[in-house]
Chains A and B, each alone.
Chain A
């Protein structure tokens, strides 16, 4: 398939609990991204990574942290889940050199915070 997998595909969690979503790629791409998708907002950037241990914040990073200890894995953690973080989360990879390149998206994780 696309060489990128997300886990879990669906998760229901309680308010206040920590949650970690995983993105795994087999393409050896340098760039990895986490977006959230909400109706009327399109896809909004949460965090991104240029390489191992090299990460930065996107436009909606509050309440989220990331880690990238290996090229193939990019983890997104909701430190203390809130109902406003109910969303569909997409990971994306890009082989671009930083001057603009297309993404390949994972299948998404549907997260519900109750």
Chain B
């Protein structure tokens, strides 16, 4: 099955700085990589995703990059704001189970 590792586990940045979260995956057939944001006490919500036929995708201040050869993908948040503070999860599609396997999460704190 798919195994997804995520780093760092915590990340603290100053407001306005950029933040980068990295994930690696094991299933070379995996074709779908979403990112979820979870605020305290809330449900995870999809913020951006990328498929294996695309190398980069942007949506305003967030972007995701994918390196299929190295089997890693990253979330980039630019011009961070206090409301970006949350736990972020990466995930990879397990082609055997037809389900997402999640990383262990990154707690991002944006200091005003």
Contact surface of A with B, Cβ cutoff 8 Å: 2, 31, 33, 35, 40-45, 48, 50, 56, 58-59, 90, 96, 98-108
Q: CA–CA, A1 to B12, complex, Å?
A: 32
Q: CA–CA, A57 to B21, complex, Å?
A: 30
Q: Which residue of A lies closest to B31 (CB)?
A: A100
Q: Is the CB of B104 within 8 A of A40?
A: yes
Contact of B44 among A41, A43, A96, A99 (CB under 8 A): A43
Q: Is B97 an interface position by the 8 A CB rule?
A: yes
Q: Is B54 an interface position by the 8 A CB rule?
A: no
Q: Is the CB of A50 within 8 A of B101?
A: no
Q: Is the CB of A45 within 8 A of B97?
A: yes
Contact of A99 among B1, B32, B89 (CB under 8 A): B32
B 36-93 contacts with A by CB, 8 A: 42-46, 49, 51, 89, 93
Q: Is the CB of B43 within 8 A of A42?
A: no
Q: CA–CA, A11 to B112, complex, Å?
A: 37
**Known pairs A31-B98, A58-B99, A59-B1; A102 contacts B43 (CB<8 A):** no
List 3 A-B pairs, minimum CB-CB distance, nearest first: A100-B32, A100-B93, A105-B43
Q: CA–CA, A43 to B6, complex, Å?
A: 12
Q: Which residue of A lies closest to B41 (CB)?
A: A108
Q: CA–CA, A40 to B42, complex, Å?
A: 17
Q: Which residue of B lies closest to A99 (CB)?
A: B31
